[in-house]
Amino acid sequence: MNQQDYYRNELQMNYFSEEYRRFEEDFYRYSSLTIPLTFLIDDVLLSMAKSNRPYFKLNGKNALDHQDHYFLFTIEEEATQPSIRLYRYHCVTHSLEQLKTQYLLQQQNQLSPH
């Protein structure tokens, strides 16, 4: 069993959500890759899970503008099945400093009472 098979049902995105639609738009705005996002998404999720990071980096050599882009997600555990992690797209940033700022804001919003 390879690692993708191991994580197959545990790492998920809601492909019909507004967040995913924004993610697709942002990804295609910056990506110069010819491979459709649909074929990359399992690798993206696996990479984030293995590195224990809520973001992935589209490096400059694969970007239309030749700059790095960081795609930030919130990660939620499924209430009924804690082993399932649902990734929700938050935003794209263009530097690690912006990423840190957005991550901290995201964490504050999750902790504040609604």
Instruction: Provide the domain limits for residue 72.
Output: 3-111
Tens place of pLDDT for every residue, the chain, 114 residues? 455 555 667 899 999 999 999 999 999 999 999 999 999 999 999 999 999 999 999 999 999 999 999 999 999 988 888 789 999 999 999 988 888 888 888 888 777 665
Q: What is the pTM of this model?
A: 0.84
Q: Based on the structure, what is the number of domains in the chain?
A: 1
Instruction: Name the strands in the sheet holding 85-93, side by side, starting at the edge strand that comes first in the sequence.
Output: 11-13, 85-93, 69-77, 55-58
